[in-house]
Chains A and B, each alone.
Chain A
Amino acid sequence: SYVLTQPPSVSVAPGETARITCGGDNVGWKSVHWYQQKPGQAPVVVMYYDSDRPSGIPERFSGSNFGNAATLTIGRVAAGDEADYYCQVWDTTSDHWVFGGGTKLTVL
């Protein structure tokens, strides 16, 4: 089955840029979605189809997807961005949806 690999944690200082990666075999050929989940809350989509931002998500959030890695980039990180972030793809081979293991973003 298809596997997405994320770093367990990423730490950045306020105002810096956070980059969260999502690795997978030729993931660049797939459409990647990203979700933010804060403690005790349901996930919220922050990026869809690699680099499209839903309404209400700040322009500081951007996404890319090439080769074997997709990246969610958060510029000018603030305390309110501290959360778990998950990438997701639909695997055409299995017709299954797959989530990455999640990355905990800590704002120092």
Chain B
Amino acid sequence: QEQLVQSGAEVKKPGASVKVSCKASGYTFTDYYVHWVRQAPGQGLEWMGWIYPNSGGTTYAQKFQGWVTLTRDTSISTAYMELSRLKSNDTAVYYCARVKMTPDSFDIWGQGTVVTVSP
């Protein structure tokens, strides 16, 4: 079935970087945008940006420009989100989700990846 499977939990120190993967299966990876959304503990959903796997084109939320990098490897149908210069308030669950085209809904989500930033 169509699904997105994310990499496992990460624990990082402040100042480090983290790279989370999101592997697509059951559909044509290059036909859908991949968006990234994060959720801090007890908080709401925060949109981070998207990548279009077909072209590699990206758009980032203004807040994340300059310290989030979205990439993809079409040979293995996988999208990546790298967050640099981590701080303790980057501790969150990071989700990937697919969208056919803007402004369609996010119809399939990954299971989420917990990133903990701790000294």
Contact = CB atoms under 8 A, between A and B. Distances in A.
Interface of A: 1, 30-31, 33, 35, 37, 42-45, 48-49, 54, 84, 86, 88-90, 94-102
Given A86-B44, A99-B45, A42 B107 contact: no
A1 B47 CA distance: 13
Interface of B: 35, 37, 44-47, 59, 61-62, 95, 97, 102-107, 109-112
Contact of A43 (B45, B59, B61): B45
Contacts of B105: 33, 45, 48-49, 88
Contact of B109 (A1, A44, A84, A97): A44
A45 B105 CA distance: 7
The 10 closest A-B pairs by CB, nearest first: A90-B103, A48-B105, A33-B105, A42-B109, A97-B47, A102-B44, A99-B45, A45-B105, A101-B44, A31-B103
Provide the main secondary structure of the chain A interface: strand
Contact of A96 (B62, B104, B106): B62
Nearest to A52: B105
Given A43-B106, A45-B105, A99 B62 contact: no
Contacts of A102: 44-45
A96 B45 contact: no
A89 B37 CA distance: 14
Contacts of B110: 42
A43 B46 CA distance: 12
